[in-house]
Amino acid sequence: MVSPLTSPFPILPLHIRPITHQSGENTFSEWITLFTLCLAPLVAHIIAGVPEVSCLSRHRPRWQDRICHYNPISILWRYAVITDRRIRARSWEAADLAASNTLFWTSDGWDGSEQMADSTLPYCSRLPEITRVAFFSGEMVKRLIVTLQGCQVVFMTINIFKLTTLDEDLPPFSARMGLDIIFFHIALIGLMRIFCCLWLTQDFSYSNVPNSGLDKGRVYDRSLSSFNTHLDISADVLGGVMDRRWSADTVRRPRLTSPTFPIIHTDPSSTTDSWKHMRPHSRYWATNTWPSRAFRFFFLTILLGLWTIAMLIAISSMDVTATAFLALVFYHFLLGPAVILLSIYFVQGKTTTTIIPCISSKWYKVYTAVVFLVAISLFVVGCIETRQTPCGTFTSFPRYMGDLMGCLKKESMPIRMGTGKEVTEPPPVRLGTLDIPEGFGIGFFSPLSRDPRQFVMMNFTGNCLGNLSTISAQLAKFEVR
């Protein structure tokens, strides 16, 4: 039995500090920096991670139907399924690439199944030139940037884990938590998309009307092998859709109330419901194949490992601000359900659709709304508490302790500051094995000299004894005697 005192991951009592307003001294430039660092992960990995919606029904999806696609779990699911679909594909064509990167809205709701690649081909006005993203393209540059951001977050998470649980002499993670990194874990999505980065593209377009005879050749010629090899559509059904002629006025100003408008209707006897009568294909191996199972296991292992690190950070944190506490709640509120949901659906083999199966469930919509509310609360509290330390980092901790823990490094040491007056010093604050008084400075051993008596002093206020030589506006070098 391991004693809690000797355990490498001790469970410490949690103390949550009340919300403290200390952002009043932030300048306009600092606010712009904070907002940019804070919102960049949301824009790069959430908003940009949701593909366009192709409406194949006369009724367009409502906002409550669309909002669940912005849930990070929905995005993670899509990345996993696209990779799994590519692994199981017997033959990967441009139509598969386009359909896998589209959210189809039909009369029956969302549909991201495998047969949509063939059944929606008459509605595709432009297919990708190749079956993957070109290496020398703007899309690949964007994929590389968001992937590097995801790698940065992994290293940051591991570093925070080491600081919090393995080294008592270094500051806890809450000392580094500010508005600038409250959404840093969202960038983990950028890391998970590395599996499918070659098959994420926007080089295609769908319309809500089948292509006329003038457009058929342009569409099918760009994926001729896919059409000849894999499409097995009856001539009667195809003729009912493709041999129809439309005037320019009809195409420009379609009447949604007209029963002859060539979009997917709910009437199963309608000839315009051609995609429902197409014969299913077997262009993909089953989901129980070993390559597919191995990928799903590996994908879940990464998510589980990140969640485990987050749990170890949480149980090892003894003193946190309201911002750090909400960040922990938000982190677990995303990773926990993500691991559970993906595990259930992976075991059940439901990876044949790029849209998570529970997308239309009421409980998933409520969960998504709660996620957004927690994110908004975290943003507001972070704006109230975040301030800048003397060394330039941001923290939500109060002064003295926040300055010390936000700037303390391995090669630094706290310096007791004298005031020149006979006053009673406040009781020292315990940080690992160091007793730090509230009136302190931070000293860095000088890299310019091997003399151990020389060090660099930051956050200097008060009196000093010794020879002083200025090396910069904020730094002073002391020679201790």
The set of long-range contacts for 377-381, using a CB threshold of 8 Å and a minimum separation of 24, is 377/326, 378/182, 378/183, 378/323, 378/326, 378/327, 378/330, 379/38, 379/179, 379/182, 381/19, 381/322, 381/323, 381/326
Share of the chain above pLDDT 70, in %: 60
At which residue do the structure tokens 């920096």 appear? 33
Beta bridge partners of 16: 320
pLDDT value of residue 309: 75
Structure tokens at 143: 């994929």
pLDDT value of residue 84: 94
pLDDT of 253 above 60:
no
Q: Worst-scoring range by mean pLDDT, 53-67, 286-300, 435-449?
A: 435-449
pLDDT of 161 above 90:
no
Share of the chain above pLDDT 90, in %: 19
> What does the pLDDT average to over 424-439?
44
pLDDT digits (tens, 9 = 90+) for 9-61: 445 566 788 888 988 888 899 999 999 989 888 887 787 778 888 888 888 88
Q: How far is CA 31 from the centre of its chain?
A: 23
Strand spans (E) along 381-475 = 387-388, 394-395, 412-416, 429-431, 434-436, 440-445, 454-458, 467-470
Interatomic CA distance for residues 241 and 209, integer angstroms: 10
pLDDT digits (tens, 9 = 90+) for 209-236: 665 543 443 444 434 444 443 344 333 3
Interatomic CA distance for residues 211 and 225, integer angstroms: 19
pLDDT value of residue 216: 40
Interatomic CA distance for residues 414 and 434, integer angstroms: 8
pLDDT of 311 above 50:
yes
Beta bridge partners of 89: 284
Residue type, 440: F
Query: Does the global pTM surpass 0.75?
Result: no
Closest CA to 458 of 419, 403, 398: 403
99 falls in which pLDDT band (50, 70, 90)?
confident
> What does the pLDDT average to over 133-141?
76
Residue of 245 and 314 predicted with greater confidence: 314
Task: Count CB neighbours of 206 within 10 A.
Answer: 19
At which residue do the structure tokens 């998933």 appear? 364
pLDDT averaged over the chain? 70
pLDDT of 468 above 70:
no
Interatomic CA distance for residues 417 and 437, integer angstroms: 9
Structure tokens at 83: 């990779």
Residue of 248 and 339 predicted with greater confidence: 339
Q: To 10 degrees, what angle do helices 138-165 and 290-315 make?
A: 40
Interatomic CA distance for residues 21 and 129, integer angstroms: 54
Q: Worst-scoring range by mean pLDDT, 95-104, 157-166, 194-203?
A: 157-166
pLDDT digits (tens, 9 = 90+) for 332-358: 899 899 999 999 999 998 999 999 999
Interatomic CA distance for residues 404 and 171, integer angstroms: 9
pLDDT value of residue 218: 40
CA atoms within 13 A on the CB side of 244: 20
